Amino acid sequence: AVQRQVDLTGVTVINPLAEKDFENRVNQLVELRKSKGMIESKARDIMSNDFTYWGTLMMQNGMVDGMVSGARHTTADTMRP
């Protein structure tokens, strides 16, 4: 942001892996996708490597108003779980 002179005043940047709710979000993903065969180890791997899932769960839980995605993900991948 500094190199591009972008003002991030009022923006909170998070690292999902360091968040205290990480395990809760893993469990939530398992519950939401269990009919599709989701298990805890797979959910943990997904949540550790694809932060789009974290953002989508934040939206579902009312923690954010929206997210910007899609440059590297399909629309379906952006809005799943």
Q: Which residues, 6+ apart, have CB-to-CB distance to 78 below 8 Å?
A: 52, 56, 69, 70
The pLDDT, as a whole number, for residue 11 is 86
Query: Which residues, given as ranges, of the chain have pLDDT below 70?
Result: 78-81
Angle at 35 between CA 19 and CA 74, to 5 degrees: 65
- What is the reported pTM? 0.77
The pLDDT, as a whole number, for residue 51 is 87
29 touches 47 (CB < 8 A) = yes
Residue 46 corresponds to which tokens in the numbers above?
A: 């997904």
Angle at 57 between CA 56 and CA 63, to 5 degrees: 100
Q: In terms of residues, how long is the chain?
A: 81
Query: Could you give the 3-state DSSP secondary structure of residue 79?
Result: helix
